[in-house]
Structure 1
Amino acid sequence: MASDSLPSTPRLTMRRFERDDLPVMVAYRSHPEVARLQSWTPEWSMVDAEEFLRRDRVIALGTRGAWTQVALEERSTGTVVGDLALHFLATQPHTVELGITLAPAHQRRGLGSEALRGVITWLFEQHGAHRVLAQTDARNASMRRLLDRVGLRQEAELREADWWKGEWTTLCIYAVLAREWATG
């Protein structure tokens, strides 16, 4: 990737996390409904946040095979409302996987759609991505609706493919190609 510059949207600034953001991140990541279908548990703490920041700071944005997190800051208030995860696949150099987490108080305001549209456009137009994909637990109806709304299509449903938090879960794979995005 050419630089660490990140896109902005009318209501959001996307940037790397800073130490001052961690209490807000802990508050939304430890919310039981947020953590329920994510890779962490509601016990996610300030210690976890400090470790996250320590690891994330040494990973350059766009490092192949690594996940990086991007803070979503509401421009009008300066408040971090969630985060966006980017995974530049090591085995497919022009494929990027993404994920998004929003604090409950900031859901259902269109911020998720705005963030995903902004970052997907940026990935295709500025960084030559060929394919952008997202995986979600089949039970995550809100995420599935969001992915549909922004223009990704469901490509697969992997039934009971992932042993997660003590149970078999079904994964849904969504994706969009650069040529599809361009014709929108």
Structure 2
Amino acid sequence: MLHEPFRPDYPIETSRLTLRPHRPTDLEDLLAFHSDPEVVRFLPWPVRDRAATEAALARKLDQAVLTEPGQWLVLAVELRETGTVIGEVLLKWTSAEHRQGELGFAFGRAFHGKGYAAEAATAMLRLGFEQLDLHRVEATCLDDNQASARLLRRLGFTQEARFVDNAWFEGAWAGKLVFGLTAERWQAPVGDGGQDEIRSIVEGFFAAFTSGPGVEDRMTALRDMMLPEAVIISSSENGLAVYDVDTFIAPRQKMLTDGTLVDFHEEAQSGRLEVFGGIAHWFGRYSKGGVLGGAQFEGGGMKSMQLVRTAAGWRISAAAWEDDAPGS
């Protein structure tokens, strides 16, 4: 048990966010995502109406201080630019003897894929390891919640277990993934300059363009890999086509889901990676193939990606590609 209550020095500021105790005036913002089935489909509480959200908020008002193991810090995540509460981040003090904690988070659908969850979770991990003196922080998610699993890996967590049919969830058995992050790993310098994380992002970029179930989740993950201001360029004999994140992703997601492009896959074949401090560049060959408009095709080309290190991890700042010339 702590000698005195643990109350962080609120508010906790990040580059874009403010983490703070909940207030009664947060009700409307919380209701916006507590009542969204897409947000709560992987969470351990049901879709909430106004009354249920108000009751949940009343409990959160007293969850800004830790006095004994088993308690949670539950903080509102406020987008500083607008003052809107866009999500919540949680840290549980699970054991004093073993210096253990647990991380959790939930964010409104409109704020997915923008790096906010990673930014808030990073601040909460810093609080847990550097102020609460935790040795290890655990996080869990349902097996199907691959967006959260990817985020935890980017935060430095290692998947330690997968429990099969571990929980009866929304009328069916669900598996659970268990992740862990130790203080030693958190504090260790990144010896490879972040190359493992960067290569994972490069692989994830190509993997996003796979037809079949899960396209929407893969595209959401792709957005999270990119800066909101990222620029994507296609070069061809007809000139340049320049996209922002939305105009790049939207038509490709449509083609992969409306039957235009089926049995499609794209993957990196070879490439080189260069990292210097907080900037990186990947340049390499890729292949692709599938059925477009009823006709089978195979192809490939070269792609370049520039990445930068942010508070939430590495992100793609620009990408450019050119397909092989026909018949080459």
Common fold by TM > 0.5:
yes
Q: Confirm or deny: 8 A CA contact 2:64 2:74 kept in the other structure.
A: no
Q: How far 1:52 sits from its partner (Å)? A: 1.6
2:65 aligned with 1:61: yes
**SS where residue 89 of structure 1 aligns?**
strand
Cross-structure match for 2:153: 148
- From 122, 129, 133, give the equivalent of 1:124: 129
Cross-structure match for 1:173: 178
Q: 2: distance between equivalents of 1:2 and 1:28?
A: 29
- If the length of structure 2 is used for normalisation, what is the TM-score? 0.53
Q: Which runs of 5+ in 1 are unaligned?
A: none
Cross-structure match for 2:168: 163
CA RMSD of aligned residues (A): 1.7
- From 52, 63, 73, give the equivalent of 2:56: 52
Q: 1: distance between equivalents of 2:139 and 2:25?
A: 29
Q: 2: distance between equivalents of 1:139 and 1:125?
A: 32
**SS where residue 131 of structure 2 aligns?**
helix
Distance 1:22 1:108, change over 3 A: same
List aligned pairs for 1:81-120, cutoff 5 A.
81-90=86-95, 94-120=99-125
Larger displacement relative to structure 2 (62-71 or 120-129): 62-71
Once the two structures are superposed, residues 128-160 of structure 1 have per-residue CA deviations (whole angstroms, 9 ceiling, x without a partner) of: 011111110010011001001111110110111
Q: How far 1:92 sits from its partner (Å)? A: 5.3
Larger displacement relative to structure 2 (166-175 or 92-101): 92-101
Q: How far 1:60 sits from its partner (Å)? A: 4.9
* Larger strand percent: 2
Q: Confirm or deny: 8 A CA contact 2:34 2:53 kept in the other structure.
A: no
Q: 1: distance between equivalents of 2:89 and 2:57?
A: 14
| Bigger radius of gyration among the two | 2
Distance 1:182 1:4, change over 3 A: closer
* Larger helix percent: 1
Once the two structures are superposed, residues 106-130 of structure 1 have per-residue CA deviations (whole angstroms, 9 ceiling, x without a partner) of: 1111111111111111211111011
- AA paired with 2:134? A
Once the two structures are superposed, residues 72-114 of structure 1 have per-residue CA deviations (whole angstroms, 9 ceiling, x without a partner) of: 0011211111001222114755211111111111111111111
- If the length of structure 1 is used for normalisation, what is the TM-score? 0.92
* Overall identity of the aligned pairs, in %: 32
**SS where residue 120 of structure 1 aligns?**
helix
Larger displacement relative to structure 2 (138-147 or 32-41): 32-41
Once the two structures are superposed, residues 15-47 of structure 1 have per-residue CA deviations (whole angstroms, 9 ceiling, x without a partner) of: 1111111111111111111111111222x0221
Q: How far 1:48 sits from its partner (Å)? A: 1.4
Q: Which runs of 4+ in 1 moved over 3 A?
A: 90-93
Q: 2: distance between equivalents of 1:164 and 1:5?
A: 37
2:88 aligned with 1:78: no
Q: Which runs of 5+ in 2 are unaligned?
A: 191-328
